[in-house]
Amino acid sequence: SAPGTGKHITILHTNDMHARAVEQSPAMGFAKVAGIVDKYRSENPNTLLLDAGDAVHGTTFATLVRGESIVQVMNEIGYQAMVPGNHEFNYGSERLMELAKMMKFPMLSANVKKKDGTRIFEPYLIKEVDGVKIGIIALTTPETMYKTNPKNVEGLQITDPSTEAKVLVNEIRSKVDVVVVLGHLGQDVSSTDTSFKVVKEVPGIDVFIDGHSHTVLKNGLVSDHGTLIASAGEYTNYVGVIDLWVDGGKVSKKTATLVDETGAKDIKPNGNVAALVSSIQKKQEPILKEEVANTAVLLDGKREQVRAGETNLGDLLADAIRDVSKADIALTNGGGIRASIEKGIVTKGDVITVLPFGNQVVTLDVKGSDVLAALENGVGSYPEPSGGFPQVSGITFKIDAAAAKGSRVHTVMVGDKALDPAATYTLATNDFTAVGGDEYTMFAKYPTTGMYGALDEALINYMQKLGAVDIKTDGRISEGKKA
């Protein structure tokens, strides 16, 4: 379409890259992303590059060095600002501050604050591009408070995005030509704090660059107050391109598009970024390739499976947790299992891919009534998948899917005895659920009675103990009507 009047500014954006460093169709990988950025910069020197969060975690490329590799690559590509998403907190807030220091660009967030109300990042940035002043206000999803290990956000609060945005848009609107919100909020109907809500409640935003829901908006969408919302999917499958024309202190035209692998097929990957990625990979290779076990069957860690029912990998992991801790019961959240393991040789890399959070195995002495409450919490949205779905060991139970939430679990057996609500059981779990993650709030009040090392180590040791792993689901969790 015809350009607008005035100066032409291009804003390139990514979100939810989740450390997809290398090309794996439809993911383009960092070198190709950088090539696309180079092309746009050469065509229009007035180009900015922003990231809307969830970059530093998600594959072994990132987790092995607690995010540092991603920062190195983003520095090389030449990012100019990013907002932390929930996954930026996965290594703890202290580590996040270290990563932010390594960045050659600012980490911004207006609503991540200490309990005393002070911010830990700059809330916004004003960039002057060819005489055009662009205000970039950043917002992080409040869901971070329960989507990462509560320990990772200890001492922090994430305040209402709309409230912060309203104050800051008012503060900068008259000082800038363009107001951009860089948000990791998303557009899921199940979320309270969506980008739609902020755009509706806060006039004066020209462009909202969004992440978190992994939404693909081919041409953005124009929402309340004429705000253009843009979102570039996930995993480096897309680079978002926003074109703005700014005339007399106002945006005269704005458009959004996405570049995918087809659109970028003639664009050359950036050589420096490609070299950096492969040199990091080379260093990691010996660790990842280490052979740690063998499995005769595929171990099922598919998202829709482990979050909605018993799987053989869920059973194996829960058995491993119970084995290392000698607890009566083991329970681990299905959402913490992030991948399957193929039949055959199992490498250290495979295990870290399944369990990337660096979790620990801990025990608690839990009342039977709270064990039941925990199971009810875990199956609260069954048969819909949810991160809290319990994978268990030492305990069996049935789910009545037709019963009301909170009273669906029945026929609960610990070993060969019925669960006694008044008795106390030693329960082993990971340190995420132990402190109330995935709304296992009933666990948070119990002190830790034992620590049994890393969850991934527990799984490796248990697989080695079994020899060839050949595990099928045994029906420890099943569906059935209440009597």
Asked whether position 91 contacts ligand ATP by CB under 6 A, the answer is no
User: What span, in angstroms and rounded, lies between the C-alpha atoms of 28 and 31?
Assistant: 8
Asked whether position 432 contacts ligand ATP by CB under 6 A, the answer is yes
Q: What is the identity of the amino acid at 430?
A: N
Query: 211 to 230, contacts with ligand ATP by CB under 6 A?
Result: 212, 214
Interface residue with ligand ATP among 333, 391, 396, 429 (CB under 6 A) is 333
User: What span, in angstroms and rounded, lies between the C-alpha atoms of 117 and 119?
Assistant: 6
Distance of CA 85 to the CA centre of its chain: 7
Interface residue with ligand ATP among 80, 86, 162, 353 (CB under 6 A) is 86
Q: Which of 398, 382, 365 has the alpha carbon at shortest distance from 477?
A: 398
Asked whether position 359 contacts ligand ATP by CB under 6 A, the answer is yes
Task: Quote the DSSP letter at residue 214.
Answer: -
Quick one: residue 394, left, alpha or beta (phi over 0 = left, psi -120 to 50 = alpha)?
Answer: left
Q: How far is the CB of 85 from Zn ion (least distance, A)?
A: 4
Measured from the CB atom, is 39 or 322 closer to ligand ATP?
Answer: 322
Measured from the CB atom, is 54 or 328 closer to Zn ion?
Answer: 54
Q: Answer with the entry of ligand ATP, Zn ion, none that 389 interacts with (C-beta below 5 to 8 A by kind).
A: none
Q: How far is the CB of 178 from ligand ATP (least distance, A)?
A: 27
Q: Which of 229, 246, 234 has the alpha carbon at shortest distance from 44?
A: 246
**HSE of 340 in the Cβ direction (CA atoms, 13 Å)?**
14
User: What span, in angstroms and rounded, lies between the C-alpha atoms of 199 and 295?
Assistant: 50
Stretch that binds ligand ATP, among 82-90, 111-119, 168-176, 279-287 (CB under 6 A): 82-90
Which residues is 409 bridged to in the sheet? 399
Distances, alpha carbon 163 to alpha carbons 160, 166, 170, 198, 201, in Å: 6, 5, 11, 9, 9
User: What span, in angstroms and rounded, lies between the C-alpha atoms of 380 and 273?
Assistant: 45
Q: What is the identity of the amino acid at 253?
A: K
Contact by Cβ (8 Å): 164, 111: yes
Interface residue with Zn ion among 69, 72, 86, 195 (CB under 5 A) is 86
- Encoded one letter per residue, x for contact with ligand ATP by CB under 6 A and - for no contact, window 384-423 reads ---x------------------------------------
Measured from the CB atom, is 411 or 448 closer to ligand ATP?
Answer: 448
**What are the φ/ψ torsions at residue 383 (nearest 5 degrees)?**
-85, 0
Q: How far is the CB of 473 from Zn ion (least distance, A)?
A: 30
Asked whether position 149 contacts ligand ATP by CB under 6 A, the answer is yes
Asked whether position 213 contacts Zn ion by CB under 5 A, the answer is no
**DSSP for 233-247?**
-STTS-EEEEEEEEE
Measured from the CB atom, is 135 or 233 closer to ligand ATP?
Answer: 233
Q: How far is the CB of 361 from ligand ATP (least distance, A)?
A: 12
- Encoded one letter per residue, x for contact with ligand ATP by CB under 6 A and - for no contact, window 237-256 reads --------------------
Q: At what angle do helices 93-102 and 68-77 cross, to 10 degrees?
A: 30
Q: Which position has the token pair 């990012």?
A: 79
Asked whether position 54 contacts Zn ion by CB under 5 A, the answer is yes
Interface residue with Zn ion among 29, 58, 67, 85 (CB under 5 A) is 85
Stretch that binds ligand ATP, among 1-9, 142-150, 410-418, 457-465 (CB under 6 A): 142-150
**Around Cβ 197, how many Cβ atoms within 10 Å?**
18
Size of the site for Zn ion (CB under 5 A): 4
Asked whether position 57 contacts ligand ATP by CB under 6 A, the answer is no
Size of the site for ligand ATP (CB under 6 A): 19
Q: Which residues bind ligand ATP (CB under 6 A)?
A: 16, 54, 85-87, 147-149, 212, 214, 333, 335-336, 357, 359, 387, 430, 432, 438
